[in-house]
Amino acid sequence: MSDAATFEALYRELEEAIRQLEAGDLSLEESLTLYSRATSLVEQCNALLDQAELRVRQVMARPDGSLEAEPFAASPTA
């Protein structure tokens, strides 16, 4: 799973946690657990953003028609 996919999953979980907390039909204990989960989700998301580095791959088709991708390095003159 790419970092972006991980981030997206965490972010959605965070949104869902907030929605549930606001709906207010959880037990107090569940609410407290969910809140601490939300805090941890935000920390993880921020950490992912902190370490993010753009990954660029170049897609091509092999002669047999199958697909492959290899890291793309921008041309040195760029």
Partner 1 sequence: MHMPSSNIYTVSQLTAYIKSLFVGDEVLADVWLSGEVSGFTQASSGHCYFTLKDAAAVIRAVIWRTQAARMALPRNGDAVVAHGYVSVYEQGGAYQLYVDYLEGAGAGQLWLEFERLRARLAAEGLFDEARKRPLPSRPVRVGIVTSPTAAALRDILRTLSRRYALVDVLLAPTAVQGAEAPAGIVAALGLLNRWSAEREPLDAIIVARGGGSLEELWAFNDERVARAIAASAVPVITGVGHETDFTIADFVADLRAPTPTAAATQVSPDERDLRRAMAGLLAQAQRALTGRLDAERARLANQAQRLRRISPALRLATDRQRVDDLARRAGLAMAGRLRHERERLRSQHLRLIALAPDRVLARGYAIVSRPDGTVIRAVAQVTAGDRLRVRVADGAFAVRATPDETEE
**Contact residues for partner 1, defined by CB under 8 A:** 2-5, 7-8, 11, 14-15, 17-18, 21-22, 24, 28, 31-32, 34-35, 38-39, 42, 45-46, 48-49, 52-61, 67, 69, 72, 74-75, 77-78
* Shortest distance (Å) from residue 77 CB to partner 1: 8
To partner 1, the closest distance from the beta carbon of 54 in angstroms equals 4
User: 58 near 70, Cβ under 8 Å?
Assistant: yes
The sign of the dihedral angle between the CA atoms of 61, 63, 68, 69 is negative
Q: Give SS3 for 34.
A: helix
Least Å from the CB of residue 27 to partner 1: 10
- Which residues fall within 8 angstroms of residue 57, CB to CB, at 6 or more apart? 69, 70, 71, 72
